[in-house]
Amino acid sequence: MRYLIDGYNVTMSDPATAHLDVGEQRAALVRRLAVRGSALLGSGTITVVFDGYTDGAAEQVGLVGVRFSAQESADDVIARLAMGPDVTVVTSDSELAARVRLSGAHVHPSSRVFEQAAPRRKPHGRYPAASAGLPKGANRITEELKRIWLPDDKEE
């Protein structure tokens, strides 16, 4: 799946970022998606589109691409890129949502990627160690270290 994020539509309606200046809004959204994007949206590529010209910031942060619309609107860029059922657009702009649905794309509301948004899927039980970047068997090592370093309540 390819996710296209209507950048300022998200940042200006998210209570966590709306009060920031636009540069800080952009940075906060891109960082959040780089860290939590797959949990909030699902697996796939993520591209955030902002109105205007580049501010010199990175065009790629982790797995998140960043684009600026230059002379055209971000809505026009997103509509042009949102072709087919393997694309999901994240926006609460009803006009943009209608345009991309005509091209076969799916639409999620901006709140899907707000700072306080819940993950798309709730984990069942414990997180696997690999999801935190730990090697296989790391949970066993942690339990062993707990036995070695933490005091046993029975001994006191």
* Residues whose CB is less than 8 angstroms from the CB of residue 82 and which lie 6 or more positions away in sequence, other chains included: 4, 89, 99, 100, 103, 105
In the predicted structure, residue 69 carries a pLDDT above the cut 80 = yes
* pLDDT tens-digit map of 13-59: 999 999 999 999 999 999 999 999 999 999 999 999 999 988 766 68
Tokens 């501010």 locate to 55
In the predicted structure, residue 124 carries a pLDDT above the cut 90 = no
In the predicted structure, residue 2 carries a pLDDT above the cut 80 = yes
In the predicted structure, residue 135 carries a pLDDT above the cut 60 = yes
**What's the pLDDT score for residue 102?**
95
β-pair type (64-68, 60-61): antiparallel
Q: Regarding predicted confidence, which is higher, 96 or 124?
A: 96
**What ranges do the domains of the chain cover?**
2-118
Q: What is the dihedral of CA 122, 91, 45, 70, to 10 degrees?
A: -160
pLDDT category at 127 given cuts 50, 70, 90 is low
